Structure 1
Amino acid sequence: LTAASRPPPGSARKAAAPMSDAALAAAVRAAIAVHPEGLEAGPSTLLTAVKEAHPDDFTGVGIQKFKKLLSKVKAQIKEEEEAARIEAAKPKVGSKENCPGRHGLKRFLTNHSSYCCDTCRCYLPEGAPMWGCRICDWDVCEGRCHPAGTTLSDLRADLSGLETRVEALASQSAPDVKTRLALVEAEVHKLEKNLDNAVVADLVKFSALRITEDDARKQKKALIADSEALLAKIEGTFAKLQLSEVEA
């Protein structure tokens, strides 16, 4: 070749560098995963499948080397499958973040004083905030174990729980009804304070749903109105109880 026709240095195509054993092992795993026989497929069959899937990468791999590597890969896969089986057979354990079944925890207020935190084993009084899963019967106390958070959903759940308790007390005639109603009233006032102190930007930030500040502001205003209505209902219940005592 003349100098003019000679290809410039470095322009000639270089031979592909041999692929590493790790790359070959990954290709073998992929071939096993898609092959109908899976782990039962023979070395010749899988080597052919690997070379067909990677025509430029493993052309120099011989059957003997492939057999050795395939044996290691199959052993690793079987170990992984056994470990996964053992892990799946273990009894599921809940935590302060989630229930044993991984359904997620929802905030609620206790409606009696027999609730026990499944994490720290402390008992909670009536009206205490907890996070629980009714499917797994798993409950975690708020503050000590589960972090407290101010969200519109939490505030709405608090108000709903208080409304339920007021409804229940309004239909009772036990001697301590007025005392228990007074405790609920104090909790409603506390909720009102939390609503007043709730920052709209934080309500948006911690919301599970995407909402605007205007949406959060409207929902906060509605919750305040509902809490005021609940206080009025409590006052009406007190008046009825007082009248019943006078008539008795």
Structure 2
Amino acid sequence: MALEARVEFLESRLENALANPTNSSTKGRPEESSSTTFPESKNSVDDLTQAFGCFTLGDTGELRFFGASSNFSIIQNPSLKVASSLEARNRGIAAAQQNPGYFEPSEELQDHLLSLFWRWQNSWQYIVSRESFVRDLYVEKSGRYCTPLLLTAIMALSSRYSSRLELRMDLADPNTAGTIFARQAKIMLDCEYEAPTTSTVQATAILGLYWASIDNEGLGFMYIGMASRMAMNLGLHSDCSHYVAKGLVTQEDVEERSIAFWGIYVLDK
């Protein structure tokens, strides 16, 4: 289907070119061409923007980007079948919970770590929208802006700011604070790779910061690089405002995508 669509697209461009040949007699006469106005064709603009790729919707309502090298970039079907983000997320959660030593913090400890994250980390390395995350965590609980992976990654990094002993794998070694959360997040991430969302990108970048904080900068930069590539795959760098006008995504989604992209852009530099 994708190949047929590309052939049809190219044939229509060829027919259009043959129907409107360039008048070679006007070449070299700038005085005539300068007085000629060329009305902007909406179809031409659409063709140009189409050449750079298009978006499709995943099962969580997330936009996914298909670049110009993909045949899917010329199929205008917002419900094009893509890998299920929900299935990948659920597999990751199940795998982490089955891992020996799985640790689920109390609400008090979770709130303590989130408070540290908002105050000392996200305040200057802005990757996550606090308002959207907190509302989803405590009120909506939709898993759109706050996912188990993102929450666990945040707790792994913010544990580095805490002196509480229950966060350490080795009570005598403060450098082990957050290790248990990082391990659980890594297991979840291994499943979410195949169908990432914006929260997957954010979590990967935050895990990169965690690895760097324990003096493993090589692994940290690798995770940040993966976050950058996933961001490009999701088209976080692209303007999707017209999808808001169509009602396919919300303005809050667009803002969250922008926050994630520019936060990771700064980290990757």
Shorter-chain TM-score bucket reads under 0.3
Q: TM-score, normalised by structure 1?
A: 0.27
Q: TM-score, normalised by structure 2?
A: 0.25
- Higher RCO, 1 or 2 (CA under 8 Å, sep at least 6)? 2
Greater Cα radius of gyration, structure 1 or 2: 1
